[in-house]
Amino acid sequence: MSRPVNAVPARPLARVREAPAHVMRAGFVWASHEERLERLTRRFPISRRMVQRFVAGEDIDTTMAVVAGLRAGGLKTTLDVLGESVTDATTAKAAAARYVELLDRLAADGADGNVSLKLTGMGLAVDREVAAANLARIAERASTHGAFVRVDMEDSARTALTLDLVRAQFAQTGNVGVVIQAYLHRSAADVAALNREGIRVRLCKGAYNEPASVAFPAKADVDASFRSLAEALLLDGQYPAFATHDEARIREIVAFAANHRISPTSYEFQMLYGIRRDLQERLLAAGQTVRVYVPWGTEWYPYFMRRLAERPANLLFLLRSMAREGRG
Ligand code: FDA
């Protein structure tokens, strides 16, 4: 029988705090597919308030108001219409249509023409050609607005296919880039190839639960990989983006660029909406470019779970508050 959340005793909370990162990640990957947990999260006012910290809005008007506020503060943006893997071509086509509308709206509002999408949201799990056609439709509309399309990277089972589709679309419109995850063993070779091809890369640590056969399990190894991939991108990449909130990694990148006389205008930092706003502002003040990844839409639950997985403190805060509200 399932336990109500307000019955969570103190000891499991302590265990959450002590759990290794990969255990936390595995737990949340599981949780992100749990419909019962999703219903609970949507019901509690505290979790909805916490969702608002990470998700700009459920509708486009609320989101555009957030985007205008970020822009007024000197930040650039990339918009992600939330929605994970779709299992039929009709839903995938509708998801692509939302991106086309979004690109038109960004252009009409004079906002940054920059969007981020997941190929599983475009139908990659249905059929490679469905995803390719939807990506083409979005990239072509982006092209008419002088906009850019970033293809997020998902779990390692899709890395090669994602790179294939990005390369094919890049050859057609030239306005797509991809994401490389520092935790994957294969990433050094991928970065070298993408640099040669002139395809823009966003480097991140990686957010999925991967086996040691494909990804570094230890944080220190992921950090070292992030550092060496960042250096390769700074030296040979095409306007690379460094997507991290890790101050040590950011300091290394700024120092490496300065030592190699690489201008801060030839790369950018990217951070997630709602995370380390203080750091975003400090970087802006220091003359760096910062782009905020702004997710929006009604399908925020799996994204929200990934953000909780990254930081046990977020989960502790949420569980404690739910327990309080459940008692009240
Ligand atoms: P790390 O996890 O070491 O965190 C450093 C510090 O950041 C923490 O100490 C804390 O202060 C703060 N922080 C990090 N996460 C937080 C959170 N959830 N809540 C509060 N504080 C937090 N992944 C992927 O697999 N595919 C992708 O396409 C992308 N795309 C992407 C775009 C952008 C713009 C960003 C910033 C990140 C991604 N990611 C991603 C996610 C990425 O792989 C990674 O999981 C997170 O960025 C967390 O790693 P950090 O590099 O921030 O370091």
Q: Note down pLDDT in tens along the chain; length 328 residues.
A: 332 222 333 333 444 444 556 666 666 666 666 677 777 777 766 677 888 889 999 999 999 999 999 999 999 999 999 987 799 999 999 999 999 999 999 999 999 999 999 999 999 999 999 999 999 999 999 999 999 999 999 999 999 999 999 999 999 999 999 999 999 999 999 999 999 999 999 999 998 889 999 999 999 999 999 999 999 999 999 999 999 999 999 999 999 999 999 999 999 999 999 999 999 999 999 999 999 999 999 999 888 888 887 777 877 777 776 676 555 4
> Is 247 in contact with 275 (CB distance < 8 Å)?
no
Residues 313 and 284 in one domain: no
Residues 88 and 218 in one domain: yes
Residues 225 and 320 in one domain: no
Q: Which two tokens stand for residue 279?
A: 């750091």
- The domain tally of the chain equals 2
Does 6 reside within a domain? no
Residues 183 and 311 in one domain: no
Residues 166 and 282 in one domain: yes
202 is catalytic: yes
**To test ligand 1's pocket by mutation, which of 54, 112, 124, 272 has the most ligand atoms within 8 angstroms of CB?**
272
Catalytic residue (choose from 80, 141, 150, 152): 152
> Is 236 in contact with 268 (CB distance < 8 Å)?
no
How far, in Å, from the CA of 69 to the mean position of ligand 1? 22
Alpha-carbon distance 242 to 230, whole Å? 7
Q: For ligand 1, what atom is nearest to the CA of residue 206?
A: 43
Q: What is the per-residue pLDDT for 159? A: 98
**Residues in Cβ contact with 285 at an 8 Å cutoff, skipping those fewer than 6 apart:** none
Q: pLDDT by residue (tens digit) across 177-193? A: 999 999 999 999 999 99
Q: pLDDT by residue (tens digit) across 224-273? A: 999 999 999 999 999 999 999 999 999 999 999 999 999 999 999 999 99
Q: What is the per-residue pLDDT for 193? A: 98
Q: Which domain holds residue 316?
A: 16-55+306-328
Q: For ligand 1, what atom is nearest to the CA of residue 272?
A: 36
Q: What is the per-residue pLDDT for 118? A: 96
Q: For ligand 1, what atom is nearest to the CA of residue 226?
A: 51
Q: For ligand 1, what atom is nearest to the CA of residue 293?
A: 34
How far, in Å, from the CA of 264 to the mean position of ligand 1? 21
43 is catalytic: no
Q: Which of 161, 109, 99, 185 is nearest to 135 (CA)?
A: 99
Query: Ligand 1: residues within 6 Å at CB?
Result: 152-153, 179, 181, 204-208, 243-246, 270-272, 275-276, 293, 307, 310-311, 314
Residues 210 and 315 in one domain: no
Q: What is the pTM of this model?
A: 0.89
